Structure 1
């Protein structure tokens, strides 16, 4: 048995291991629920960018809805014809949901990262009065604030998404490399 074949088996067992799956599923449910709760509780407390709590709520619901749909796809005891019909409609639905996720993620990036500099200053996190002058030289004070929990949760979700996307791409690259090496050396199981 070669090293490559053993490595492929080890990766397969590690991914399917209960110790890996249970924390992943737990995080997969806790993060969107946290997004929904924090977003709803802070809908009025992010005047610098009021769309951030909305982004959290919609994003959390979309992840839960996608997870629910994915779980419903794994039904057993159906005929081949039912599977084909379900497969076609699920493919279309999955494509539309993926397009929505990507667009919503990009919009969230714009809303969250655009205000990164003002929010990261400590005085702006809890709310600070800023003097703004209009054209008539009359200065008015406005409060620029955003709940730091709301902002940092949105920022963390975005960064975690990029990190997980990077890990996924790395795993795909390594898997393709290992499969290519396996094909070159004709490693049989």
Structure 2
């Protein structure tokens, strides 16, 4: 009886295309994940149990992205300016002395919040690059308290600044309704622009969530075929 033995030596050429495609793959390892923003949103949608849970996770992912981290780092210049202007004109707003105080306090807590959030986002990005799990929606108690105070103080600023809009005087220091133009109008536009930015961010987040949800739905349809 003869046996045909095929010996593959070191000089054997690579397998052809058909042989490579028909070779069974017993490996159960998944390919490395691509940590793009879209993939993270799609993964959050798959892991979420309801739309509210998905919205919470998606907002955490968006806030933890490197773009948002850079924006938070740059935006720290605004609180610093608030501190400076509030300190300079602290005694030049007789219509309501709380307006420059509002600028100073808002600037201090704004800087503190920007520093903490930037550190958290940088740590989150570091964990992602190390392929370690990190819960995006998790917040420390200190961060939550600071954000709650900032929001409450922001509402107080709205009341103090907008209520003085119709009666403020900026050209007569002896007038009891006087407030330095730089101090008042800077506070006024900081509040107004903040509302505009918040509205734009809400619209952008909603658009991203809708696009991500539609993309995940289309991908699931094609994958089921």
TM-score calculated relative to the size of structure 1: 0.68
Q: Which of residues 168, 176, 182 is equivalent to 2:209?
A: 176
Report what 1:107 is aligned to.
156
Task: Please list every run of 5 or more consecutive structure 1 residues that lacks an aligned counterpart in the other structure.
Answer: 1-6, 78-82, 130-141
Alignment CA distance shift 1:25-1:58 (3 Å): same
C-alpha deviation, 1:23, in angstroms: 6.9
Higher RCO (C-alpha under 8 Å, 6+ residues apart)? 1
Provide the secondary structure at the position in 1 that maps to 2:93: coil
Greater percentage in strand: 1
The C-alpha deviation readout for 1:65-122, integer Å capped at 9, x for no partner, is: 1122224434569xxxxx99xx97x521111111101100000000000011112xxx
TM-score calculated relative to the size of structure 2: 0.58
RMSD: 3.3
Query: Is 1:118 paired with 2:167?
Result: yes
Q: Which of residues 68, 76, 92 is equivalent to 1:29?
A: 76
What is the total number of aligned residue pairs between the two structures? 152
Task: Please list every run of 5 or more consecutive structure 2 residues that lacks an aligned counterpart in the other structure.
Answer: 1-36, 40-61, 128-133
Report what 2:195 is aligned to.
162
Q: Which of residues 137, 145, 149 is equivalent to 1:96?
A: 145
Cα pair 2:80 2:107 within 8 Å, conserved: yes
Runs of 4+ in 1 over 6 A off after TM superposition: none
